Structures are given as structure tokens and as C-alpha cells.
Chain A
Amino acid sequence: MSDTRYLFKRGKTWWVKISVPPSLRPALGYDLRRSLRTQDLETARQARSQVVAEFRERIARARRELDGPTDPKPVQADGYQITAREDFSDVTYLLELSHPMLAEAAQPGQFVLVISHEHGERIPLTIADFDREAGTITLVVQAVGKTTREMQQRCVAGSTLHSVVGPMGIPSQLENAGKTVFVGGGLGVASIYPQVRAAQEAGAYVIGVVGFRNRELIFWEDKFNRYCDQLIICTDDGSAGIHGLVTKGIEAAIEEHEDIAELVAIGPPIMMRACAEATRPHGIKTTVSLNPIMVDGTGMCGGCRVIVGGEMKFACVDGPEFDGHQVDFDHLMGRLRRFIEQEKQALETWAEGLTGAAAP
């Protein structure tokens, strides 16, 4: 008899069929079959093996599925790798993360939300730099509360963060490429950097005003110099540059240049308010970047609500940049103190845990 294994004829056409083990029938049916689109037995024999192999594979796959994947695909991301770290001072540190998609999408003025470990909170951090080619983003963090201090200890190159999501917020929009002053105070120095670079690349005349407590804490001076037409450094103690706050630097800049079109400031709320007050008499458009407490950062909790021009806005989706002359800074500063007690408690418990763990 001729070899018709796995073959059967329907009308005049040859088909392949292999039967399915009973346990898999609920998923696959009695059998798997497919037309070979030929009436010639010899051709059908030749075509047969490939189809049979494919069906076998499908049955094997169904069996694996039935047994359950040995390791169901993790629903949560495995983590985001830290590729480099640099310490600017004993409280300020830089983390570089590998995240090509995020690096591709990031724009000046945007931020990310980070969860450092499974039990961690979601904290917003401004994107301080991004490198599309290397696929990295840079965050600069100041160790103030429990989360950021813990990150200071745990986040070394090669370690991972539990979750990083972004880029969040509306990218900053420089309305004109005239003379623009970029002000960064403390941590805000890092946050303002992508805007400085973008403005310079867009052809603006860029004046940078950066403030630090003292000479030792200065960072990224070279980076700023590369993209600023003029860089004004201010230190609280006068150990470098202008002696005083960034507002002194702003005043100096305004005095020197009559045609400043815009000022962008990032830093602690009290500094941003001072900047807005410094420009108000001169009618210079002033943009500030707000960083209130957020939970989800996608507009769902309203924890980040701020008052701008008498209207409620959500900093995460309507901002983070707003007209500095319209922002209600008292409201912002009040709301930033919401969890002060809990933060203290978290820090204490954490510190106790550390000393406890250190004991033998």
C-alpha cells in the first residue's frame, strides 16, 4: 500500500492531519489539519513533513501552556539599570540610567517618576540630561528624606531601580530665541541644564545664573560654560563668583542686558519666588518649574495641585512649568509640608533599622 501517513483526501485534494492528544483537545480540537493544495500524492508526500513538524510544535506549545508556564512572564519590569554614579557632595549625587526609549523621548523640562525598590514611594525627579545615542538619562538627586538617602546608599553603578516612568510633563517651550536667562539653584542647577543646551542649539543668546552654597559644591561648570554665552556663578558665602543668592546674579544680568526676553528658573520654591519677584518690575516673562508632592504623576491623584492665576492646575500633566508671576507660592510651600511628620518618622525608623543592622 502506498504511504499515506498523516494524509487524507478531501474531494480530490490531499490534506495533512494529525490527531491531538485527549488532554489538549479542549484547547486545540480533535486534530490539526491543513490542505496541501495538491491532487498529486507524490507532491503531497513531499510537502507533508514540514506541516507535520509545525503541527507537532503547536501541540508541544499547547502542552506547555496547559502545564502552565514554568515562570509566568513577570508583569512588572525587572528593573532599570544604573550605569554610572557620581557624587557632587555628601548630599548630592548623579545617577545615569540605561533606558534607550526614555532617552529617545526625553525633552528639556520633563521629569520621571522613580520607585527605588518594591516598597518604595514614587518620587518625581527632573531629567537632568539625556543622551539619545548612548540611550541613557541622567538624574541628579539630593539626599533629603528617607527615600533619597536610602537611594544614596543603594544606588551604585550596576544596581537597579524598581520602576522608572516618563518622560512626564509638558516639555518646556521657549517662545523665542532671543536673550534668555536660565537660573538654577541647588539641585535646580542640574534640572536647568537640558534647557540651556536646547536654547543654545536653537540659537538663543544664553545667560546662565547658577547658585551654590560654596565653592566646593559647584558642579557642571564646564557643561554650562560650553552652552552659555555668559555664565554667572553665585555662592552664598562668596567663595566663588558673586557673593549672594541667584537673585543678585539676575540683577547683574538685567543691568547688563536691556533686552532680556525671558527667564527660566528651577530650584527650591523660595528661590523661584524670589526670581519671579526680581523680574516682575521689569516685565520679563518668567517661567518656573514646580515640583510638588505627587503620587502617580499621571494626573490621577491631584496631590500635585497648584494654584496658577487663581486656577487649580495639576503640575504633573498641566506643568511642570508655569508662569512664575502667576504661581501662588504660599500655597505650594504649604502643601510641600504635608507629610513632614511622616517623613521624619520614616527617616527615624530607617536610621534605627540601619544601626540595628550594623550591630552584630
Chain B
Amino acid sequence: MGGGFDGRGRALIGAGKLATETKKTIRTIPQERTPIPEQPASDRIGNFDEVALGYRPEDALREAERCLLCKEAACVPACPVAIDIPGFIERISEQDYRGAYDILTDANLLPAICGRVCPQEDQCELVCPVGDVLEPVAIGRLERWIGDMGLEEGWHNVPHIEPVPYRIGVVGSGPAGIACAADLAKAGCEVTIFEALHAPGGVLRYGIPEFRLPNEVIDAEMENLTRLGVEIQCNTVVGRMFTIKQLRTEMGYDAVFIGTGAGTPRFMGIPGEALHGVLSANELLTRCNLMGALQFPKYDTPITIGSHVAVIGSGNTAMDAMRVSLRAGAEKVYCVYRRTRQESPAREEEITHAEEEGVEFHWLTAPVELLDDGEGAVRAMRCIRMELGEPDDSGRRRPVPIPGSEYEFEADTVVYAIGTTANKVIGQTSELELDERGYIATDDDLSTSMAGVYAGGDIVTGAATVILAMGAGRTAAGAIKDYLKIRDTEVVYQPDGAKEGPFGFDPRERNHVRLRLPPDHTVPEPALSGSGSQEG
């Protein structure tokens, strides 16, 4: 054969159709990035429906055209789970959507979720060479489109699973736990996820609101996990119901993965934090997303969101808290952040959406005191203006207060979204080594100080992103496979190149664990049966 294969079995130039087609160049592709239809800001603040409505088929096809299908695609290593991005985009162009879905879901069990919430602009889309000249290919939007199509069509990518005699316990059903469980289930292990809350999904469920990530999408993608044979046991606090050690010993789990996240909210310790109307963003979001508080009294959980809501912080969590507050009927929502928009850790898209919806941003502002209305509730916030000084350890310029610049503004609800720290229970109830900030200490392969116990996601790195947590879950799954000496089923065999082989099949095809054929691919039965036909 003229070409080679890269690690994922994709034909390299020379082997297939890439060579024969006229090569796309930056000049021949559609120049403008295809916009994604959105609900107008004025409508959407009155509902919890999704803001970004998703591509239509013509949008997706046009956007897929913009991908140059690079040979050594820079976006692939930039994706924490190394999706074969050009591979799936090429399938879209060929209108082989099922094929695109299969490529995506080989690497990422949750494409409809990641396509919505990944910070693509810092990952795959950041390194896309189209972005050097034009706007980069909208990889995330294409991923979401295929993911949504998979959900609508009821596709699932369940490979052949060869059982191995191992049981794996996964603690926490957030993205890290989900990704780890999926990989190990595919490798044939019997996997059980233990989740403390009454519904699975971690932050996806209790944190990210419906207008960014509808619950149906979570439910549907989580169902694919159960199709792989993973069992999800909710209402189970590991550490308290049983310990990690018990899991490994008495309960007979051969390996354990901990993905318990970093959900403990931080407060500032300024006067007035005990007042009514002061709460963490996690409390606000949990009440609304997990417990249905906005449908009170149909749902029993209450929430009080006043008319003037000030949210402290400017990350994704802050944006979500502000946008939920707007939808809950707040008249005015302020964002108070001690640095500037440039330093804001939220995704650009989220900030833009919040601005469009009418959030008022107070950059370079820090609260110093919360003021009492005389009846135990918060009335206003006293703030001080800041300016940027010398860069600090994080390389960002440190905000310093401007003396005498204090001022007050009215707020009857104050929400803290200034970051979170490790969930404590596992640390309290095990002998696992923690780092100085209380996160679980791991080696590069995510093994902890206890043999057979691995950890990843926010509980190791501190609050990060969905896809980084999923990447960690997959890394840990790889390490667990090594630890248990299970054969790696990760490398998916794709028989594209096989078309070129003698008699229409690939000489290397021999007892492969996973075999995928294009739906239209039929092989005459007799060619394979009969004794000795496999030799050669």
C-alpha cells in the first residue's frame, strides 16, 4: 500500500481518497465561521430553554468544509481526550453521520455535553491552523451537532466487550468518573459507580443550568453508560457508607477510581456573610438545578433570589449563577470581580451571553463588607475599587485596592462564586495522601498512595473543566488496565484501509477485539468460512 497508518488506524495521505481529491486550501474553504442560531437575549431571560440552538444540517456541512483535514492535525493532541477530529469532520462532509458519531464516541462518551460546555477556544480550536488566518473551525459546534444527532437517532457505540474477571469501583459520577467507568467497561470490567447525591452527573447535573446543558442531554448520554454495563448506585457516600479500604478489601473491588470533584465553596471572611440573602453559587445552583427550587412550591425546596443580585467572581460558575438569577426574575444582576475582563476565567462565550442578557459588570471591584438591613438580611455591599499592579505567581497582574475608593451599592442577594476546594469526605475517611491544599496527591499515572486506588478530575487538580476531568478519567482507566494487566482495547481498528487490501480485507485483521465496519460494508460469507482461510 502506498500510504501508512497513523496510530488511530486512519489512512494517511496516499492511501485513500485524500490524495485523489483536490486539496482544500485556506483560500478555497468558506471564509466565515458558520454562526450558531441562538435564542434572542430578550426572549431567553424569560425561560430556561437552551440559548444556543445548534446547527442545522446545512450549517454543519458548510462548517465541515472549513476543516483542512490536516495530516498531522494539531487539534487532536490539543483535545484532552484526543478525539480524531479531522476524522469525524471528514465523515460529516461525506454525510456519513453515523461514522462521525462512532469516531467521536470512541474517544468521548459525552459528545453532546462536551460540544456544549468544553472551552474549545482554549483547546482544539486554539491550535486550529485555519484560525491563524480566519476564525478557526467550529469544532465544538460540529461535535455537538453529531452528538445531538446520535441522541435523536438513538445511536449508541457499544463495542464488542470481552469480559475480564475484574471489578472496579468508581467514586463520584461526574465527568471524571463517567469517562473512567466507560473505558473500563469497554475493557470488560464490571464497573459500579457510587454517587453521593440522588442523581448522577456531578457538576453537569447540579451545577450547569438547563439553558446551557439540558437535563435530557445528560440523561441520554448517561444512559449510554448503562448500556456499556456500568451500574450507577446513587445515594451512596463513599467514606461514610464504606471506606475506600473496604472497597479494595472486604468488598472485593480490584481497583478503585476516585473522582469526587472540588465542590466545597469558598467564602471571603468579610463582615456580613451570615446575613440572609448571602449564599454560595453552588447552593443557588444546586437548589435550582438539582432540587427544582424555581418550581417552588410544586417542588419543596425553596430559594430566595431578590431583585438586586450581586455575584462575586467571574468564572463559569459566576456566569451561571447570574444568568439563573436573571431567569428567576431578578431586576438587576451585577458581577463584581477584582480583576478585569481579560483575566476573567469564564469562557468568552459565557461572558458575551451574560452581557447580552443584561448583567452589569463591575470589573476591578472587590467587596469589603456586606451591610445589614437591620432585620438580619443583606441590604447592600460595600466595595473598593482596584487597579492592576505587579504580576503574581499565576502571571496575572495582581489587583491592589485604591485607597479611599470605597462605595456602596444596593444588593438584596449576594452570591459567592470565588472558587471551590476539595470535597472533604474521602480525605477525612481514608489514609490517602493529600497535598497541602487538601486535594488527593497522585503520580503522573494518577495512582494514589494506596495500591490499586487512582484519582482524577477536580479532586486532584482543583476546579478545572469537564473535558480535563474526562481526560483524567481516561488516563486513570489506562493506568488501571496496566495495573490489572488488561489488554488495551483503546486502539480501535478501522478497516478503511482494508478496502485496498487483497481480496478486500486487511492482512493484519486477525482476532481483533474491536472491529467496526461502515454500515454499507458487506463481506461475502464464504470468503471467511472454511478451514484454513485465515492463515496467511
Contacts and interface: CB of A to CB of B under 8 A. Distances in A.
Interface of A: 4, 7-11, 17, 19, 22, 25-31, 33, 62, 65-66, 68-69, 72-73, 75-77, 101-102, 105, 110, 115, 119-122, 146-147, 162-168, 170, 295-296, 298-303, 305, 307, 312, 314, 317-318, 331, 334-335, 337-339, 341-343, 345-346, 349-350
B301 A301 contact: no
Given A119-B299, A307-B274, A342 B304 contact: yes
12 contacts: A26-B516, A73-B226, A75-B200, A77-B235, A101-B242, A119-B299, A166-B237, A170-B428, A296-B206, A300-B265, A312-B267, A317-B264
Nearest to B515: A29
Contacts of A29: 160, 512, 514-515
Interface of B: 102, 154, 158-160, 196-200, 206, 219, 222-223, 226-227, 231-237, 240-242, 263-265, 267, 269, 273-274, 276, 279-280, 282-283, 286-287, 290-292, 296-302, 304, 376, 416, 423-425, 428, 511-512, 514-517, 519, 522-523, 525, 528-535
User: DSSP majority for the B interface?
Assistant: loop
A351 to B, nearest CB: 11
Given A72-B226, A312-B267, A343 B302 contact: yes
Nearest to A171: B240
Contacts of B154: 68
Contact of A314 (B158, B264, B273, B528): B264
Given A22-B522, A305-B267, A338 B242 contact: no
Nearest to A14: B531
A188 B107 CA distance: 53
A335 B274 contact: yes
Contact of A302 (B241, B267, B423): B267
- Please indicate which of the listed interface residues A69, A170, A331, A342 has the most CB atoms of chain B within 10 Å of its own CB: A342
A17 B510 CA distance: 13
Contacts of B523: 30
Contact of B423 (A72, A101, A300): A300
A27 B234 contact: no
B228 to A, nearest CB: 9
A115 B514 CA distance: 43
Contact of B265 (A102, A170, A301): A301
Given A17-B529, A26-B517, A300-B265, A165 B198 contact: yes
Contact of A167 (B240, B298, B423): B240
Contacts, number: 192
A93 B299 CA distance: 24
Given A300-B264, A301-B283, A317-B428, 14 more contacts: A10-B535, A25-B515, A25-B517, A29-B514, A69-B227, A76-B199, A76-B234, A115-B198, A295-B286, A295-B291, A305-B267, A337-B276, A339-B304, A343-B302
A275 to B, nearest CB: 22
B297 A349 contact: yes
User: DSSP majority for the A interface?
Assistant: mixed
B276 A338 contact: yes
Contacts of B376: 334, 337
Contacts of B160: 27-29, 62
Given A11-B535, A301-B286, A338 B240 contact: no
Contact of A8 (B240, B300, B515, B533): B533
Contacts of B198: 76-77, 115, 122, 162-163, 165
A299 B423 contact: yes
Nearest to B530: A8
A28 B517 CA distance: 10
Contacts of A25: 515, 517
Contacts of A110: 240
**Ordered nearest first, which 3 A-B pairs have the shortest CB separation?**
A342-B302, A300-B263, A301-B283
Contact of A317 (B286, B296, B424, B532): B424
Contacts of A312: 267, 269, 273
B286 A296 contact: yes
B439 to A, nearest CB: 14
Nearest to B232: A75
A333 B517 CA distance: 66
Contacts of B231: 73
A276 B467 CA distance: 49
Contact of B240 (A73, A168, A314): A168
- Please indicate which of the listed interface residues B198, B242, B267, B512 has the most CB atoms of chain A within 10 Å of its own CB: B198
Contacts of B102: 26
Contact of B532 (A9, A68, A163): A9
Contact of A19 (B416, B515, B529): B529
Contact of A345 (B290, B297, B514): B297
Nearest to A349: B297
Contact of B425 (A30, A72, A101, A299): A299
Contacts of B219: 75
Nearest to B522: A22
- Please indicate which of the listed interface residues A11, A299, A318, A335 has the most CB atoms of chain B within 10 Å of its own CB: A299
